[in-house]
Structure 1
């Protein structure tokens, strides 16, 4: 078992800025009927930003609860690890997630036709750099949740020039698809309640607690909030929450857009000089619309004679930006065009002539409109002790599963320490509220520390950056 009691020390803190106006959260009633209705149904981005940054800061004055209940909005791996480590510190939590098919966020796996077609359609694999994360991964391996991906992985240049990576560092995958790891993380939890699918639409402070609702339907009241997701939905949620400092940092985050094409072929993919491609995963170079391709059938060991060959193709961030549309309602014409262009790019990458791919038995196109962070504050978590609200997620440290895990655990320990304090000087628990952002380097599909073109991040450097 993992010894987690001292895995994460208290990270360095920054001073909490003085607010010119604050709101006593004891007196704000979420059920008040005296508020004015909006004069219009729409608002410009400028007015939304103004509303976000000029909202009054919530300042809770109620004593800290000896038995707090924390709400975690977002069931990705960062939020799930936050909930798990809160439980290990004796703190109860509720996780709200929008997932219909399961938890995980970008730990996404799509299963079609009773397990005959399985695709990891977001996070593809991960490497391990941090010793604390390594301890968790070894525990997951012992439980059968994670295994090493030993198939050939490398770089594929346009025209079919494949260069394999060395076997070190090891690459890891969830044994039954990435989503299976997320769905297993809280299987033994006793102090965590999971609610899904639920789209929290409003946060309101009243009587020393945070009150949550989904389209007017109450979702409960909580002593503290964790925002474990990002993008426009998180921005919208925070816009009038009374947390301008949290909202400001979330607004500064920039995210890429990436198309994911899932394709099942009746026969193996050919290669320019062979009957079958010599790899299971490849970072594609020199093709405008393609950054990654992976054979899910071999990766997940679901191959069987005469069965389909399932591949995931991910676009470049540049192509995603050029062809971005509302991901909830992709026009049919866009879907057909993007699918055709990405399949042509597969042929170009493999050195094949146009129209030479095997017959398709299944395709599905998905746009990750808020795919991966492109900038980062390089801190493990953000916490506002006066509003009793925090943020965790991969983007705070990087762009990978390891960063998400470290962030979730760091915030869990920080919140537990906060509630175990006397509450006499809450400002000492403020962290990350004014941290500057910097550009984030890595592959279009994320960072993989130690893997060829990714620089290895030294643990001592990580601790220093967290101060």
Structure 2
């Protein structure tokens, strides 16, 4: 789910003269330059109309000064909610709405499936390579989430990860990390859990891949558009994603309070490197725990986490190549950030080289001695994890009938994402049940300040005894 930029069109210049007029003007300028007749020089031509320039500060000010949308139309008996974002939070919100009898339509950009950071990549070559390349594992500390996880365990979707996980100091010193709560993983990777979040009923419709680009209030409803193509009308909307796309979506929506809160969010950037090796890596062995399967890496700038997907997901299959997921630190991601939709080849090669060098350093290997992987893929999670949070389960603007859910509202974990979606779904259902008669009672999270998030560079794990504090980046302060 990095620091997001709001790009808003500045006022466009007036169109220049028609082509013929432009030709006559050019001719008169030439005559004046040659001293013809002593006539007054014409006024300079307006600059040609071209690509508008962008001003981040003026865009933020404009987004904060939007006129607030206020819906006064009665709440219908059978409302429908648009949920924009099909990650864990958006799916949990749709599920909670369905449990209360409220219809929803989930719009998600995923080409291969739902889930957002519940992401698993399977590479179909001669041998099937499987990587969890976003969320690596999760814990369950809240009773509501534990109940859901227990259901997943009963269905065979989730199991406890009993492999050795701990801290790896640069140089190869590994220390297992005790945990007061079980660590869980998806039996076949994380992505199937996204589908498991959706109940089997006709109250939820999923549209993907779809990139909602515009929100527009109209006659007491929200109209959604994808590149000017209408995508229906809805009684309320839920923003279940963040980053620059969410900021652009909100910047002209008529929801200044939601825009303000989203703009306060600071997100990290993290590189992921997927690598498959023919032979096992030379992993330090602990006398009582054996070779580790996952490690939080310390004192290596290009590396914060490494995990052996093969041992994690297929512990009984010994003939598979080792598929590793490596994550950079947030500081490395910030220093090497590029547009994640169009990563230059030179940057991809640099990141791969430096992260593999980080693996050598973490394992205490000599430079260049690490075996070359036969498969690699780098990916930048540009809007990776929240660096700050308001500490509220959800945000809802009853005047505009719009809300926000996401892990960033209380932390940075799968548990936080699911609980935020559940909370907003129930809150919106309660609002509909009130028939909108007391809207002021349903405002939540619109003015809460944000505080620093503490945890590992790859997220928070409630109940895990070791948590590495994150250092929040400087916050943008504007005088509005």
Q: How high is the TM-score relative to the length of structure 2?
A: 0.84
Following the alignment from structure 1 to structure 2, what is the Cα–Cα distance between the partners of residues 66 and 100?
A: 34
Partner of 1:77: 88
Given that 1:204 and 1:210 are in contact with CA atoms closer than 8 Å, whether structure 2 keeps it comes out as yes
Given that 1:303 and 1:309 are in contact with CA atoms closer than 8 Å, whether structure 2 keeps it comes out as no
Matched, 1:104 2:115: yes
1:50 deviation in Å?
Answer: 1.8
The correspondence for 2:157, drawn from 145, 148, 169, is: 145
Following the alignment from structure 2 to structure 1, what is the Cα–Cα distance between the partners of residues 297 and 52?
A: 44
The correspondence for 1:218, drawn from 230, 237, 244, is: 230
* Residue aligned with 2:241, SS: coil
Following the alignment from structure 2 to structure 1, what is the Cα–Cα distance between the partners of residues 451 and 285?
A: 43
1:331 deviation in Å?
Answer: 1.1
Following the alignment from structure 1 to structure 2, what is the Cα–Cα distance between the partners of residues 71 and 144?
A: 31
In the TM superposition, what are the counterparts of 1:318-357 in structure 2 within 5 Å?
318-357=331-370
1:39 deviation in Å?
Answer: 8.1
In the TM superposition, what are the counterparts of 1:58-457 in structure 2 within 5 Å?
58-113=69-124, 116-166=128-178, 168-186=180-198, 188-271=200-283, 278-301=291-314, 304-454=317-467
Change (3 A) 1:257 1:407: same
Following the alignment from structure 1 to structure 2, what is the Cα–Cα distance between the partners of residues 448 and 423?
A: 38
The correspondence for 1:52, drawn from 42, 47, 63, is: 63
Q: Which runs of 5+ in 1 are unaligned?
A: 1-35, 456-467
Following the alignment from structure 2 to structure 1, what is the Cα–Cα distance between the partners of residues 167 and 106?
A: 38
1:183-226 superposed Cα distances (whole Å, 9 cap, x missing partner): 23225132100000000000000011100010011111100000
RMSD (CA atoms):
1.9
Following the alignment from structure 2 to structure 1, what is the Cα–Cα distance between the partners of residues 59 and 269?
A: 22
Q: Which moved more, 1:123-132 or 1:380-389?
A: 123-132
Following the alignment from structure 2 to structure 1, what is the Cα–Cα distance between the partners of residues 369 and 180?
A: 34
Q: List, as ranges, runs of 4+ consecutive aligned residues in structure 1 with deviation greater than 4 Å.
A: 36-40
1:152 deviation in Å?
Answer: 0.5
Following the alignment from structure 1 to structure 2, what is the Cα–Cα distance between the partners of residues 422 and 366?
A: 46
* Residue aligned with 1:354, SS: coil
Following the alignment from structure 2 to structure 1, what is the Cα–Cα distance between the partners of residues 205 and 98?
A: 11
Given that 2:89 and 2:405 are in contact with CA atoms closer than 8 Å, whether structure 1 keeps it comes out as yes
* Residue aligned with 1:52, SS: helix
* Residue aligned with 1:446, SS: coil
Change (3 A) 1:435 1:273: closer
1:321 deviation in Å?
Answer: 0.4
* Residue aligned with 2:224, SS: strand
Q: How many residues align?
A: 419
Q: Which runs of 5+ in 2 are unaligned?
A: 1-13, 16-48, 469-480
* Residue aligned with 1:386, SS: coil
Q: How high is the TM-score relative to the length of structure 1?
A: 0.87
